Amino acid sequence: MPDTALMPIPGATDPVPVARPALVDGVTPRADGRIDLIGLARPRIAELFAAAGMDARAARLRARQVYHWLYHRGVTDFAAMTDIAKPMRPWLAERFAIGRPEVVEAQHSADGTRKWLLRTADGHDYEMVFIPDADRGTLCVSSQVGCTLNCRFCHTGTMALVRNLTPGEIVGQVMLARDSLGEWPHQAAPRVPHDEHGEEDGDGAEDDGPAYTADGRLLTNIVMMGMGEPLYNFDHVRDALKLVMDGDGLALSKRRITLSTSGVVPMMARCGEEIGVNLAVSLHAVTKQVRDEIVPLNRKYGIDELLAACAAYPGASNARRITFEYVMLKGRNDSDADARELVRLLRAHNLPAKVNLIPFNPWPGAPYECSSPERIRRFSEIVFAGGISAPIRTPRGRDIDAACGQLRTSAAKASRAERDRAQPVAP
C-alpha cells in the first residue's frame, strides 16, 4: 500500500522534506495537555474514556452520547451534554477538549463568498471558503497546509508543504462553518435526558424533532478543493469525511461531497471504495507537453493512465459523472484543437464526464493570463457540441483572494521565484 502521508514524486516534482511534529493518533497536541475529541471516531473516543479510568461498558455508552453531542448537535461544551450525569461533565472537561480551528481572520467578498484564515493548535495557518449560491452553499475545505505539487498556475503550489491536516482539523472546518452559519440543531432537547445513573442503554437514537438534513440549509455541499492534494493525505481525509457522512455525525450525503485530485492515480480506486464521494479531476491540458508543464504530477501519472483510472472509478456512472476541471490559460491550453482533443480523449475512454471550465484566477507573479471570454465561450461550445457538458464557472471571491487557486497563507516557505530557481520546469 502506498505511503499516503507523503508520496515521493521523482524529478522536479519531488516534495522537499520538511520537519513536522509527530502527530500522536493523528491528533495535534494541545498546550493544555487535554485531548481534542474532534476528529475521533466513536470507538477511539471509547478507548480514550476507558484509558482515563471508565469501565469498558460505561466508556462505550459515554462515547456514544458524547459523539452525538459533538458531531450531530455541534456542542462545544461538556456542560451542555444534558444526558450525561452532572458530576461526569467536569471530569470529561478536565481531560478532553472540544476543539475548533482558531479563526485568525474572517473575510467577506462583495459577492457573498466568505473566507476564513484558520490556525492549528501548533500554529500553522490554512484557509476555508464558503460559496453561497441561489440553490446551494458550498464549503471549500483544505486537506493540507501548503501542497507538495507545484502546479504552475496555482498559488497554493508556491507554498512548501508544511504538513497534512489531521482529521480533526479537516472535519473542524465543516463544524466551524456550521457554527458560523448557525446550522446546528442545538435547540431540540434530547428525548431521553434521564441518564444520571449511567444505566440507559443509549442507542443514540434521540429525537431531534424535525429530521435534520442538509436540504434547506445554507451549507449543503462540500468540496475538497481548498489547500492541498487530498489524495496525498488519504487516511486523514477519509476519516474526516466518514464523520461528515455519518448519519449520527454531520449527516451530509456523500452525493453532496466532491473530492478534487490533480491525478494521484494509485489512490483513486481507494477513494471510490473507502470514501465513495464524487470525484473531480484537475485535467487542465490534453497533451503531455502542456500537462507536464502546468501539472508536474503528469510526469509521473500521464493522461491516459489518469483517464483509465477515472473510467474505473468505483461508483462513476451516467448519473454520477466525473467532473474534469480545466483552467483556461491564454495561449497555453485554450485552442479549438485543445477542445476537440478533450472531447476525443473523454470519448475514447468512454467516460461519464462533465467538464468545468475555470477562468484562471490571477495572483501576484503568476506566469499565466486568463483566456479571453470569447475564447472560453468558443472552447465551451466545441466541448458541448461533442456531447459533453462544459459550463463556464463564474469566479467567486476574487476580491478577497478566495477563488480557486488563490489560497496561500503567510506560512509559505518558498516564493515562486525561489522555487523556480531550485526546480526549473523542463521546456
Q: Does 69 bind ligand SAH (CB under 6 A)?
A: no
Residues engaged in binding ligand SF4 (CB under 6 A)? 147, 149-151, 154, 156-157, 228-229, 262, 282
Query: Taking CB under 6 A as the criterion, which residues in 343-382 touch ligand SAH?
Result: 358, 360-361
Cβ nearer to ligand SF4, comparing 249 with 263: 263
Name which of 98 and 309 has its Cβ closer to ligand SAH. Answer: 309
Choice between 220 and 233, CB closer to ligand SF4: 233
Which of 46, 162, 177, 225 touches ligand SAH by CB under 6 A? 225
**Of residues 265-294, those binding ligand SAH (CB under 6 A):** 282
Residue from 310, 327, 390, 411 in contact with ligand SAH (CB under 6 A): 327
Complex with ligand SAH: residue 83 or 325, whichever CB lies closer = 325
Distance (Å, rounded) from C-alpha 277 to C-alpha 280? 10
Tell me the C-alpha distance between 324 and 352, whole Å.
Answer: 10
CB atoms within 10 A of CB 415: 12
Residue 261 lies near ligand SAH (rule: CB under 6 A): yes
As measured in angstroms, the least distance from the Cβ of 151 to ligand SF4 is 3
User: Binds 4, which of ligand SAH, ligand SF4, none (CB < 5 to 8 A, cut-off by type)?
Assistant: none
Residue 125's DSSP bridge partners are 119
Distance in angstroms (rounded) separating the CA atoms of residues 297 and 37: 35
Applying CB under 6 A, does 153 fall inside the site for ligand SAH? Answer: yes
Which class for 386: exposed (0-12), middle (13-18), buried (19 or more C-beta within 10 A)?
Answer: middle
User: Which residues are annotated as catalytic?
Assistant: 127, 404
Answer left, alpha or beta for residue 257, where phi above 0 means left and psi between -120 and 50 means alpha. beta
DSSP 4: S
Please give the residue whose beta carbon sits closest to ligand SAH in the complex. Answer: 405
**29-58 positions binding ligand SAH, by CB under 6 A:** none
Distances, alpha carbon 64 to alpha carbons 89, 205, 222, 254, 322, in Å:
15, 10, 25, 22, 36
> Cα 133 vs. chain centroid, distance in angstroms?
19
Q: Which is nearer to ligand SAH, 40 or 402 (CB)?
A: 402
**C-alpha cell of 343?**
472531447
Q: Is residue 113 a contact point for ligand SAH (CB under 6 A)?
A: no
Q: How far is the CB of 232 from ligand SF4 (least distance, A)?
A: 8
Site membership for ligand SAH, residue 405 (CB under 6 A): yes
CB closest to ligand SF4, residue no: 157
Burial of 158 (0-12, 13-18, 19+ CB in 10 A): buried
Binding residue for ligand SAH, selected from 229, 239, 334, 401, defined by CB under 6 A:
229
- To the nearest whole angstrom, how small is the minimum distance from the Cβ of residue 224 to ligand SAH? 7
Strands (E) in 165-230, as ranges, are 221-224
For residues 193 and 68, what is the distance between their CA atoms, to the nearest angstrom? 13
Binder to ligand SAH among 46, 117, 139, 154 (CB under 6 A)? 154
Could you tell me the CA-to-CA distances from 337 to 289, 331, 360, 373 in Å, in that order?
15, 12, 19, 17
Buried b (16+ CB within 10 A) or exposed e, 214-245: beeebbbbbbbbbbbbbbbbbebbbbbbbbbb
Does position 325 interact with ligand SAH (CB under 6 A)? The reply is: yes
Q: Give the three-class secondary structure for 33.
A: coil
Q: Which does 358 bind (CB under 5 to 8 A by kind): ligand SF4, ligand SAH, none?
A: ligand SAH
For ligand SAH, the binding residues (CB under 6 A) are 151, 153-154, 225, 229, 260-262, 282, 325, 327, 358, 360-361, 404-405
